[in-house]
Amino acid sequence: MEKIVSLCKRRGFIFANSEIYGGIGSTWDYGPLGVELKNNVMRAWWRSVVYDRDDMEGLDAAILMNRLVWRYSGHEATFSDPLVDCRECGKRSRADHLQDGKCPSCGSTDLTDPRNFNLMFKTTVGPVESDENSAYLRPETAQGIFVNFNNVQQAMRRKLPFGIAQIGKAFRNEITPGNFTFRTREFEQMEIEFFCKPPQFLQPGEKNDIELHAEWVEQRFGWYIKLGLDPAKLIKREQTKEELAHYAKATVDIEYKFPGSLGYSELEGVANRQDYDLSAHSRDIPEEDLQRLKLTANPDSTGKLDYFDDQFVSADGKKGARYIPYVIEPSAGATRATLAFLCEAYNEELVSEPKAEELTPLREAIAAARKSIQKKRDNQNRAADKKINEGPGESHYSILHIKEEFGFDAIDNALEKAEAGLPQTLLDVEDVCNLPGADKIELLKKVRQITGKLCDEYTRVVLKLHPQLAPIKVAVFPLKKNEPRIVEVAKQIKRDLQPVLRAVYDDTAAIGKLYRRQDEIGTPFCITVDYDTLGEGKDPAAASLSGTVTVRERDSMQQVRVAINELETYLLSKLK
């Protein structure tokens, strides 16, 4: 994950918010490439769930809503996290995230009792601060869809089943945010509320809520795979009865295996929420339904969010019925999905192998570094033994901390393994130099220096993003930036392509370096204009290449000649 964070800042994907003032916890700004990537993720989602279906409508509800929305949705009373503090190391954690009741940092069981912390950001509407003028920054986009159910259904004359999709900002005052952009206080959601008939109002041949829920799970799971996530890193995890909200019939979490400590973590939840939400915002709900859903009566609502089914025929032949629909909710995070696509796309590759003699200085530097590590390991053992022998005054956490501080076994073992696999493991040597504690080994600096030069020449970092998600689709280069005719053709190609796809022009380095730059940000295709384009190449067949350019594909690095007047058709066919 550290390499991805570094890449994101260096190449303009994601920056720390307010960094010039020291930042603000877990708040991030999306840079020029990051905003393109995130927008492409959201466009792909919108295309999939709205444009490619006949049963969906879109919505963009406001961030600020009447406070009563959050009162009757249950957020004011229950939208909180149970938190505990570790008395041993001071780390604060969510009580429901503990493993065997132990602190995730030091393993201690000496924890405080759980305390609830409300996650909603409170603000004031109007010039006077008072409880009556209080409002919240929405913690989810779903409630804006629920309270607009009647508006959308009647305006668009929709019949059940149908859905409403929305992309928008949400805000949660997370107490334990972290892991880069995975858990933040401001994020974007991509949510669907798919309304369907309750089981008792189904007609023959109509799908019930259980079947529709299963369909949505499969469709959403397949969307991530289609856009490049490895199926082996995706799972569908059904929530246990203990995890389920009391009103939920079933919930399946789609989880992705993120690198590092995150491991398998939620990308999207698909829930069968039954008729809870529309009932919560409606007046005149029958008492038996209030008890079933564990709701209180809502005297503040001015209407009832129900549906008149003119196709329903009861057992006794009576036509028509009015009822509150069930809802299936696929809820995804645009920011989490963007992070997952970045993690999946990140690759480091050995493009060509250095010669044996070029590796000799590296092998010698590794041998010297390992000797240094052996001396430090002996010092480590003596220091740890000394602390242990000092008596009961030293806690388990303190001794563990000291051992970790002086621990070099992992570095030595990794160096030995990486050195044995050279040259294929050249990138692994670079990784070893960035392990915790490596900065304390002076001779590793020489290993890092030699490895860095070899990596610059023989390796590349490439983001193998799906073409639909890539921030830039095509980069155009002139072979010679001091040849006006080549430059003009290259700039004209960029101008011609710009209206139909995101294209850039660059002449600030040699072609090889320009290729590497674009590989690192995920650009699928690079176009090079050369002397052959002008019909003046050294090749005897140069005249036949006039009016063509070199098109290089990112993943395979293969190059083909394509006529300039066929570029748009060629690229669009490849970018689908």
| pLDDT recorded at residue 568 | 95
548-568 confidence digits (pLDDT tens):
999 999 999 999 999 999 999
Lowest mean pLDDT among 65-69, 313-317, 407-411: 407-411
Kindly tell me if the per-residue pLDDT of 399 is higher than 80: no
Other CB atoms within 10 Å distance of the CB of residue 370: 19
- Among 69, 143, 81, 68, which residue's Cα sits nearest to residue 118? 81
The answer to whether the CB of 46 falls within 8 A of the CB of 164 is no
Kindly tell me if the per-residue pLDDT of 86 is higher than 80: yes
109-126 confidence digits (pLDDT tens):
888 988 877 788 889 998
Query: Checking DSSP bridges between strand 186-196 and strand 162-171, what pairing results, if any?
Result: antiparallel
576 vs 566: CA distance, rounded Å: 16
Mean pLDDT, the chain, as a whole number? 89
Kindly tell me if the per-residue pLDDT of 368 is higher than 80: yes
> Quick one: what percent of the chain has pLDDT higher than 90?
59
- Among 466, 427, 438, 454, which residue's Cα sits nearest to residue 554? 466
Greater confidence (278 vs 10) lies with 278
Q: Tell me the pLDDT band of 390, cut-offs 50, 70 and 90.
A: low
For 363, how many CA atoms within 13 A lie in the half-sphere containing its CB? 12
Kindly tell me if the per-residue pLDDT of 317 is higher than 50: yes
Other CB atoms within 10 Å distance of the CB of residue 223: 19
Region 478-503: mean pLDDT is 95
Give the chain's radius of gyration (CA, Å): 29
| pLDDT recorded at residue 118 | 75
Lowest mean pLDDT among 51-65, 325-339, 371-385, 517-531: 371-385
Kindly tell me if the per-residue pLDDT of 45 is higher than 70: yes
243-255 confidence digits (pLDDT tens):
998 889 999 999 9
Region 348-369: mean pLDDT is 90
Strands (E), 259-325: 263-274, 307-313, 319-323
> What residues contact 551, with CB distance under 8 A and at least 6 apart?
525, 526, 527, 559, 560, 561, 562, 567, 570, 571
189 vs 53: CA distance, rounded Å: 20
22-41 confidence digits (pLDDT tens):
888 888 999 999 999 999 99
Kindly tell me if the per-residue pLDDT of 397 is higher than 50: no
Kindly tell me if the per-residue pLDDT of 174 is higher than 80: no
Kindly tell me if the per-residue pLDDT of 141 is higher than 70: yes
Using alpha carbons, list the distances in angstroms from residue 426 to 208, 422, 430: 56, 6, 7
Greater confidence (180 vs 210) lies with 210
Give 209-246 as a 3 state SS string: HHHHHHHHHHHHHHHHHHCCCCHHHEEEEECCCCCCCC
Greater confidence (209 vs 403) lies with 209
Region 325-352: mean pLDDT is 94
Region 158-171: mean pLDDT is 96
Kindly tell me if the per-residue pLDDT of 60 is higher than 50: yes
The pair of structure tokens assigned to 68 is 């009563």
Kindly tell me if the per-residue pLDDT of 4 is higher than 80: yes
| pLDDT recorded at residue 389 | 64
Q: Tell me the pLDDT band of 177, cut-offs 50, 70 and 90.
A: low
Q: Tell me the pLDDT band of 171, cut-offs 50, 70 and 90.
A: very high
| pLDDT recorded at residue 442 | 86
Kindly tell me if the per-residue pLDDT of 401 is higher than 60: no
Query: Checking DSSP bridges between strand 307-313 and strand 503-505, what pairing results, if any?
Result: unpaired
- Among 337, 214, 174, 324, which residue's Cα sits nearest to residue 266? 337
- Among 449, 455, 446, 454, which residue's Cα sits nearest to residue 372? 446
195: helix, coil or strand?
strand
| pLDDT recorded at residue 402 | 41
| pLDDT recorded at residue 396 | 45
| pLDDT recorded at residue 403 | 44
